[in-house]
Amino acid sequence: MKRKEKPRLEDLVPDEAYRREIEEGLYSGKRWLGPGGVFTELLQSFVDAALEGEMDHHLEQEHSAGKKNRRNGYGKKDVKTEGGTLSLNPPRDRTGSFEPTIVEKRSRSLKTGLDEVILSMYAKGNSVEDIHRLLFEIYGVEYSNSAISLITDPIWPDIVAWQQRALRACYAIMYLDGIHFRVKEDHKFVNKCVYTVYGIDCDGHRDILGIYTSENESAHIWGQILEDISSRGVQDILINCIDGLTGFKESIHQVYPLATVQRCIVHKIRNSVRFVPDKNKKMICADLRTVYSSATESQAGQALESFKIKWGKEGERIAKLWENDWSELMAFMEFGTHIRRMIYTTNPVEAVHRIIRKVTKSKGAWISEKSLIKQLYLTLMNQQKSWNRKASIGRPFN
């Protein structure tokens, strides 16, 4: 079989002078794209030629349809591309019916995927200013901050649809937790709490059911969020994993009265040893482990009594903290070992928050609540593989 010959540079660029200019640019280390780039002029010539071809085809169709139309000179237009800004001269027709495809009317950018690049940069935690700088450094394209914001705005309907989408009727486990950010509001920066609802359905599918914002985290707002979850089709939540927010359990039971509420044991341990001398912390944590790793609630109670005796006044103080929330802390004892490991802590939703923090850690604040939500949504969608892996929950949930 005869081997197909690859095209040579002279086949691709017949003009000898321009071909020599390209060769000199390539061998001298000149940038390929962007202002003064080796291939920028070639790209511009290609787009101009494509527009001429589109005009010829348009006029042929007009004449075939019996319409009188002809060329009417050229316009001037700067368009942004991944290869830099191109100064084009698009042809015009007498009737104004010519609608080019490669560069649409009133469009200031060539469809080369640059919008997707901007959205990807935004999803990876880059600010509008960062994107402005990177676009110029990498592609030689000048995009204003407002133009970048306009490119991210079309995703807002997607966010609204995602927040309002119908949900499954039953979820086996729901992790509820908040994370805080700084947002500009009324010419000053304020703290905003982002509420994350992260669930596992009865088939083991993980999903983020929604993200909500408010000034501060409160049980009252959580109640409103759960009412929204209910209005979107969730009839039952079997287990809710929460932190120690006051009134949280009561807010859950107002919407889902039969739900089991499991308080995060990891949070409780942190609070228990907050005022313990450093030299004793590790030993106290080890002894508390004997409480929550017991086989039954009764054995856990006996382990707590032993803990009080061993640690005296310190043990009495810590044990009282556990006894005050005993029913919520021990709720996971009703289930098998596999489920216990999944619900004794809110770590799964905190892992989602770590994904967000990893991307947003370089940002001090957001210019608006809307810009914050856009970035969080894009980040979560960009990192789906990290949080939507199927969980193996087994019986009694399937």
- Structure-model confidence comparison of residues 287 and 140, the more confident one: 287
- At 317 the pLDDT is 95
- At 19 the pLDDT is 65
Nearest residue to 23 via CA among 32, 329, 289: 32
- At 255 the pLDDT is 97
- At 120 the pLDDT is 75
- At 154 the pLDDT is 78
pLDDT tens digits, 316-354: 999 999 999 999 999 999 999 999 999 999 999 999 999
Counting Cβ atoms within 10 Å, is residue 153 exposed (0-12), middle (13-18) or buried (19+)?
exposed
Scan for tokens 């560069």, then name that residue: 103
Say yes or no to pLDDT of 302 above 70. Answer: yes
- Rounded to whole angstroms, the maximal C-alpha distance in the chain is 101
- Structure-model confidence comparison of residues 38 and 385, the more confident one: 385
Confidence of residue 103 (pLDDT cuts 50, 70, 90): confident
Q: What is the pTM of this model?
A: 0.71
- Helix (H) / strand (E) containing 91: strand 91-93
- At 371 the pLDDT is 87
Q: How far apart, in whole angstroms, are the C-alpha atoms of residue 171 and residue 79? A: 50
Nearest residue to 179 via CA among 358, 383, 371, 391: 358
CA distances from 329 to 6, 68, 293, 296, 340 (A): 71, 82, 12, 13, 11
Contact 156, 376 (CB under 8 A): no
- At 304 the pLDDT is 95
- At 283 the pLDDT is 95
pLDDT tens digits, 79-98: 776 556 777 888 889 998 88
